[in-house]
Amino acid sequence: MAVRIVGVDLPQNKRGEIALTYIFGIGRSASKTILEKAGIDKNIKVKDWTDEEEISAYLQDLLDKKAFDQKGLIYGIGHAIYSISDPRAEIFKGFVKQLAIEKGREEEYALYEKVERLAPELIAKKRKMYKGVNANVDFYSGFVYEMLDIPQELYTPLFAIARIVGWSSHRIEEMIGMNKIIRPAYKNVGKKQDYFDISGR
């Protein structure tokens, strides 16, 4: 899948610094300046979802805080408890594959599979971890939400709804167990509203 900017399909197997020069009026110097201001590594290729070396290089840039939000994280990889495998993710993955086939998104699913396999290896090398790291149940969630045409602003509420029973249980445990610290924390950032009874509607 090519990247298209101002009517120009950028080459998929060129470094970013070179790829931008395919746009009329942009030379090597301007290309370098644009990438620097955007915080993008000039050596990152535009996109080749089948090239594992390129995928690994980008994942490494994520870990080195050179790409995306520069936090050094590969979201969806790792869990505080499930260090060998996340059984929820294993079950979910089968349904994700079925949906990807139905929606004609097999190439993107294949990319997710590659990231799922490559990321733990890179993380283990980078952080010298002595326990395993693997994809968690949310690794494929965003992809599924997108395939189902769910608006992005609903992704976080769906995440919270799925966990509210567990959070409530932890809160009860905290109250019974003399205010022991629990995980995770929750803060309501919505506007305060007066309660009104809707049972009679």
Catalytic residue numbers, as ranges: 79, 138
Quick check: helix, strand or coil at residue 190? coil
Answer whether 135's CB lies under 8 Å from 116's CB: yes
Which residues of the chain form beta strands (DSSP E)? Answer: 3-5, 8-10
CA dihedral 77, 112, 160, 78 (to 10 degrees): -10
Q: What are phi and psi of 55, to 5 degrees?
A: -60, -45
Integer Cα distance of 54 and 49 in angstroms: 8
Quick check: helix, strand or coil at residue 149? coil
Q: What are phi and psi of 45, to 5 degrees?
A: -75, 160
Q: Which residues contact 197 (CB under 8 A, 6 or more apart)?
A: none
